[in-house]
Amino acid sequence: MCHIFAGQDPGDYEPEMRRLRLNGQSTSIRLERSFWEIIDEIAQSEGVSTPAFISKLHSEVLELRGETRNFTSLLRCACLVRLRQTVPQMHLEAAE
């Protein structure tokens, strides 16, 4: 079982730093490439650029919860939410 996890392509978990603006402030976000791929897909499905999606998400979180202590963790969890939404759908499509 662990071979599935241990055998991953190291490039998938290589950290990648991206610079963008959040609410007008320049910042850097460092995430593993696999997370960036999912965030890029989410942004594309929303019809916006990745920086625009992240900035909008940040603004909405500020409005709902106030400042987050760890925005990169929130982004990783957003990726998990996305996967949880799509995996059940994939199982239904395979059963048809």
- Domains in the chain (CATH in brackets) are 11-95 (1.10.3990.20)
Stated pTM of the model: 0.85
Q: Name the phi and psi angles at 7, rounded to 5.
A: -85, 10
Q: Cβ(48)–Cβ(8) under 8 Å?
A: no
Those residues with Cβ within 8 angstroms of residue 79's Cβ, 6 or more apart along the chain or in another chain: 35, 38, 39, 42
Q: Does the pLDDT at position 91 exceed 80?
A: no
Both tokens of 59, joined, read 């603004």
In Å, the largest CA–CA distance within the chain is 48
> What is the C-alpha to C-alpha distance for residues 41 and 24, in angstroms, rounded to an integer?
23
Span 85-89, average pLDDT: 79
Span 64-86, average pLDDT: 93
